[in-house]
Amino acid sequence: MTADAQSDLIERRKAALAPAYQLFYDDPVHLVSGSGVWVHDADGRRYLDCYNNVPSVGHCHPRVVAALAGQAALLNTHTRYLHGNVVELAERLGASLAGDLSVCFFVCSGTEAVDLAVEIARVATGAQGVVVTESSYHGNTSLVSKLSTDGYPATDRPDWLGVIEPPNTYRGPFRVATSTDATTSTDTADAVPVGERYAGLLAVEIEALARRGNDPAALLVDTSWDSNGVLTAPDGYVERIAEITRAAGGLVIADEVQAGYCRLGDHFWGHDRYGLIPDIVTIGKPMGAGHPVAAVVTTPEIAATFAERRSYFNTFGGNPVSAAVALAVLDVIDDENLLDNSTDTGTYLGGLLRELATRHEVIGNVQGSGLFWGLDLVADRATRTPMSYDDGRRLATALRHDGILIGLTGRYSNVLKIRPPLVFGREHVDELIATLDSRLAAFELHGGDSRRRPGAEW
Ligand SMILES: Cc1ncc(COP(=O)(O)O)c(C=O)c1O
């Protein structure tokens, strides 16, 4: 594609799409095809996709494409007619979840799933309050955008919203020493374990909610803490926040839109990593490998209470084509052992990222697991000052020119986010690490503002 044709398309897009839309990179990537962990632009250049979890089983997986095309050629209706696909899908999701989590609602996006989950929790508890983390992202309906604290000023928060610090032991209020510290001068000396200290913040926030006249209907937690920089919770934290929530009459909603589907390695679901059995689970992105299918799973008891007060129908949610796609994704995960791949390749990747941190001062911390890692980039390791937003963008852009698609996340958009399709192998890890190594060796800090710009694409 000529430079003129590319500029023309950008201009047409600007005119025809709402200005709230963003494109990654000042010089956007124009993708036209994909296969496995690779995507190709209009000039035939290929990029290693280290960013996209939505094509969970790889871009354009032939079995997913065949399932979609096959069912689309046969029939597509909705859930008010009897069809086997949606029933089988609900059964398989239920079987993958612990405890009594066995009944499903089907929707079309993660946002819709979170919106419905919160409504279910409110109906089931009779309370209105919801607690989320600072800098959370859970979606964008008028309700859910309020739960996405990264997108609007704290002064606009509704009374029913409680907000807690995420358990970021590198950057948050309670810290532990990391392998990149010169000294271990953090406050680990405190007798109370760090997980307990973070959990204590929830108890304080629930009291604050009560003073504003609200009891908690739900704690909404993304167990990968993606928008907080990709975190692993300290010991005891998740169990404790669940206990505190339930003691106050609330339900625990695990937002598995990011953490689910083998992403964190070792377990299919993020909450399983912590031995948590939530009351409600929301599922999205990876579920359809690119096709818009999402779900809410809860217990028969909670679903029955909801049904006493509400009926539910979603025109596209759970249609036979979407369900066929979602079933094919589950089949591929099983048949290609993608949970094992996430665990094994993820361990290999994590080891090499930690080694990279020994060579590059800008890597303040390596955090994550499975095929979800964050490099917390710093301007100064000793003070843990985040790398500026401009520097982070320059680095991600340079990597794009090196043929690596990668993102930024976290409160300061200074965490390089590595979250590739689950078919990422060791050869892809080697390519990513070699490119990061040479790019970081050549990278110079220019400084600038370390606050994320409103409306920034990362
Ligand atoms: C944790 C989490 N929940 C919910 C959502 C919303 O999903 P969707 O964009 O499909 O509406 C996102 C999207 O990034 C997310 O990261």
pLDDT digit string (tens) for 391-415? 999 999 999 999 999 999 999 999 9
**Considering only CA atoms, which residue is closest to atom 2 of ligand 1?**
138
Percent of the chain with pLDDT over 70: 96
Whether the pLDDT of residue 251 is over 80: the answer is yes
Whether the pLDDT of residue 76 is over 80: the answer is yes
Whether the pLDDT of residue 259 is over 80: the answer is yes
Atom of ligand 1 nearest to the CA of 284: 10
Give pLDDT, residue 429: 99
Give me the domains of the chain, ranges plus CATH numbers.
3-57+337-442 (3.90.1150.10), 62-335 (3.40.640.10)
Q: Is 291 in the pocket of ligand 1 (CB under 6 A)?
A: no
pLDDT digit string (tens) for 180-227? 776 544 555 568 999 999 999 999 999 999 999 999 999 999 999 999
Residues 9-39 as b/e (b if ≥16 CB within 10 A, e otherwise) read: eeeeeeeeeeeeeeebeeebebeeebebbbb
Atom of ligand 1 nearest to the CA of 109: 10
What is the DSSP annotation of 99-121? TT--EEEEESSHHHHHHHHHHHH
pLDDT digit string (tens) for 325-356? 999 999 999 999 999 999 999 999 999 999 99
Q: Is 111 in the pocket of ligand 1 (CB under 6 A)?
A: yes
Q: Give the CA distances from residue 305 to residues 91, 121, 283, in Å, rounded to whole numbers and listed in that order.
A: 21, 10, 21
Q: Is 256 in the pocket of ligand 1 (CB under 6 A)?
A: no
What is the DSSP annotation of 17-64? S-TT---SSSS---EEEEEBTEEEETTS-EEEE-S--SSTT-BT-HHH
pLDDT digit string (tens) for 151-165? 999 999 999 999 999
- Residue closest to 373 by CA, chosen among 336, 348, 395, 338: 348
Cα radius of gyration (the chain): 22
Which secondary-structure segment (H or E) carries 302? helix 300-309
Mean pLDDT of 42-67: 98
In whole angstroms, what is the distance from residue 93 CA to residue 103 CA?
9
Ligand 1 binding pocket mutation candidate from 285, 457, 458 (most atoms within 8 A of CB): 285
Angle in degrees, 0-180, between the axes of helices 320-335 and 338-359, rounded to the nearest 10: 70
**Considering only CA atoms, which residue is closest to atom 12 of ligand 1?**
138
Q: Is 139 in the pocket of ligand 1 (CB under 6 A)?
A: yes
Percent of the chain with pLDDT over 90: 94
Mean pLDDT of 256-285: 98
- CA 26 to centroid of ligand 1, rounded, Å: 24
Dihedral class, residue 260 (left if φ above 0, else alpha if ψ from -120 to 50, else beta): beta
Give pLDDT, residue 180: 78
Range scoring the smallest mean pLDDT among 153-157, 181-185, 237-241, 384-388: 181-185
Angle in degrees, 0-180, between the axes of helices 84-96 and 320-335, rounded to the nearest 10: 40
Whether the pLDDT of residue 454 is over 80: the answer is no
Ligand 1 binding pocket mutation candidate from 51, 133, 138, 409 (most atoms within 8 A of CB): 138
- CA 222 to centroid of ligand 1, rounded, Å: 10
Top-confidence residue, 454 or 39:
39
Give pLDDT, residue 168: 98
DSSP, collapsed to helix, strand or coil, labels residue 161 as strand
- CA 152 to centroid of ligand 1, rounded, Å: 16
User: pLDDT band for position 179 (50/70/90)?
Assistant: confident
Q: Is 138 in the pocket of ligand 1 (CB under 6 A)?
A: yes
What is the residue-averaged pLDDT of the chain? Answer: 96
Residue 267 dihedral angles phi and psi, to the nearest 5°: -135, 155
pLDDT digit string (tens) for 111-145? 999 999 999 999 999 999 999 999 999 999 999 99
The CB-side HSE value for 233 (13 A sphere, CA atoms) comes to: 28
Range scoring the smallest mean pLDDT among 80-84, 319-323, 446-450: 446-450
Ligand 1 binding pocket mutation candidate from 115, 137, 287 (most atoms within 8 A of CB): 137
- CA 40 to centroid of ligand 1, rounded, Å: 25
User: pTM to 2 decimals?
Assistant: 0.97
Which secondary-structure segment (H or E) carries 428? helix 426-442
- CA 112 to centroid of ligand 1, rounded, Å: 9
Angle in degrees, 0-180, between the axes of helices 426-442 and 338-359, rounded to the nearest 10: 20
In degrees, rounded to 5, the angle at the alpha carbon of residue 334 between the alpha carbons of residues 330 and 338 is: 100
Q: Is 114 in the pocket of ligand 1 (CB under 6 A)?
A: yes
**Considering only CA atoms, which residue is closest to atom 15 of ligand 1?**
138
